[in-house]
């Protein structure tokens, strides 16, 4: 345990930030999982309505540097491809 006041304060701040980041990452991961579950269940219309919320969560994670912006873009791209692929498989 540090003895310096500024270091003690920095540890408190880091813990708060860590918990906030952990919660935000969890929200993003849960939204992605929900989208994938909906697609696997064959509910394409609901998945399409969830997709903007997932993109928004990914964008906010990228802007706050929880995730690298390229990672967020890659995930959005792959999810949109998955939606299109599932839609095409259902139609024909």
**What per-residue confidence (pLDDT) applies to 29?**
97
63 DSSP 8-state letter: H
Say how many residues make up the chain: 92
Topology classification of domain 5-91: Methane Monooxygenase Hydroxylase; Chain G, domain 1 (1.20.58)
pLDDT of residue 38: 96
Query: What is the predicted pLDDT for the residue at 1?
Result: 84
Q: ∠ at Cα 86 (27, 62), nearest 5°?
A: 30
Q: What is the pTM of this model?
A: 0.86
Give the per-residue pLDDT at 54: 97
Averaged in consecutive runs of 10 residues, what is the pLDDT profile of the chain (92 residues)? 94 97 96 96 94 96 95 97 94 78
């Amino acid at each position: 345990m540090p003895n310096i006041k500024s270091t003690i304060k920095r540890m408190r701040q880091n813990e708060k930030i860590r918990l906030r980041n952990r919660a935000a990452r969890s929200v993003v991961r849960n939204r992605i999982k929900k989208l994938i579950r909906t697609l696997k269940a064959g509910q394409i219309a609901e998945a399409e309505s969830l997709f903007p919320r997932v993109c928004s969560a990914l964008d906010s994670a990228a802007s706050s540097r929880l995730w690298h912006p390229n990672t967020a873009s890659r995930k959005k791209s792959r999810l949109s491809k998955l939606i299109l692929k599932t839609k095409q498989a259902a139609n024909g």
